[in-house]
Amino acid sequence: MKLSQKDVEHIAKLAAIDLTADEKKKFAKQLSAILDYVEQLKEVDTSKVAPTFQVTGLEDVSRADESATKDPLVSQSIKDNWPEHQDNLIKVRGVFEGEE
């Protein structure tokens, strides 16, 4: 599949990158070669091949989302010594721009 320079310009726009005229020609050729190879792969008969979703045998380990047991006196001590409070919580500086 041959990509035109206009196709490459559209892809570059979607990727938010600026390309020189030489880069557009170079990438049109390279991307066309990649798409030709993908077309070749489509011709391979994989009907008798079982889907492979995971090849290492590892499994996700998950746990219940529960708070750790804590000593209420320690929690109260932290709250008492923290400079800012809001309701029953300690107030910290925001990590995102514009937040307080």
Residues 61-90 have pLDDT tens digits of 888 888 776 788 888 888 889 898 888 788
Distance between CA atoms of 20 and 4, rounded to whole angstroms?
15
Residue 51 has pLDDT above 70, yes or no: yes
- Does this model's pTM top 0.85? My answer is no
Residue at 53 is within a domain: no
Residues 6+ apart with CB under 8 A from 12: 18, 19, 24, 27
Residue 99 has pLDDT above 60, yes or no: no
Quote the number of domains for the chain: 1
Residue at 64 is within a domain: no
Residues written for the chain? 100
Residue at 82 is within a domain: no
Domain span at 22: 5-42
Residue at 31 is within a domain: yes
pLDDT tens per residue, range 8-38? 999 999 999 999 999 999 999 999 999 999 9
Model confidence at 98, in pLDDT bands (50, 70, 90)? low
Residue 25 sits in a domain whose CATH number is: 1.10.20
